[in-house]
């Protein structure tokens, strides 16, 4: 709040507004003038709109490039992790099947050997 006096009937305000990103922006300012004696509103909610064009800075574009690079790296890491997970599942399945096949072959060889010994009474193979 800034009082207006007859000797100085104007007021000045100063703000520093920083845009988040470059481009066209709209800045709206709403002001009211109140009579200090009676508290009556002389001017109620007067709106001033400004259209501002904001240029991009090197820091802004460097930050965007950095964020884009990090997003790419994170996505690439996720992709590599996904491929590694699928590969490990496939490798685990393959190894399990291979072990089962070896176990079956070993049992078949054992049972064939036992069956052959049962037929040949001489004790020789």
Check whether residue 62 and residue 103 sit in a common domain. Answer: yes
Check whether residue 15 and residue 38 sit in a common domain. Answer: yes
Check whether residue 105 and residue 62 sit in a common domain. Answer: yes
Digit-coded pLDDT (tens) for 35-75: 777 677 767 788 889 898 988 888 888 888 888 888 888 88
Q: Is residue 124 part of a domain?
A: no
Domain count, the chain: 2
Rounded CA gap, 84 and 72, in Å? 18
Closest to 29 (Cα-Cα) out of 6, 46, 12: 46
The parent domain of residue 97 ranges over 57-118
Report if pTM > 0.75: no
Check whether residue 85 and residue 95 sit in a common domain. Answer: yes
In the DSSP assignment, the letter for residue 8 is B
Q: Tell me if 33 sits within 8 A of 43, measured CB to CB.
A: yes
Rounded CA gap, 112 and 61, in Å? 76
């Amino acid at each position: 709040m800034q009082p207006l006096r007859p000797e100085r009937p104007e007021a000045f305000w100063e703000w520093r507004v920083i845009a988040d990103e470059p481009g066209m922006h709209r800045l709206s300012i709403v002001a009211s003038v109140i009579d200090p004696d009676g508290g009556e509103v002389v001017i109620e909610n007067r709106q001033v709109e400004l259209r501002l064009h904001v240029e991009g800075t090197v820091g802004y574009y460097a930050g965007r490039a950095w964020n884009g690079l990090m997003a790419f790296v994170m996505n690439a890491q996720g992709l590599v992790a996904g491929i590694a997970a699928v590969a490990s599942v496939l490798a685990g399945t393959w190894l399990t099947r291979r072990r089962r096949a070896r176990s079956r072959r070993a049992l078949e060889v054992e049972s064939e050997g036992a069956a052959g010994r049962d037929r040949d009474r001489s004790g020789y193979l």
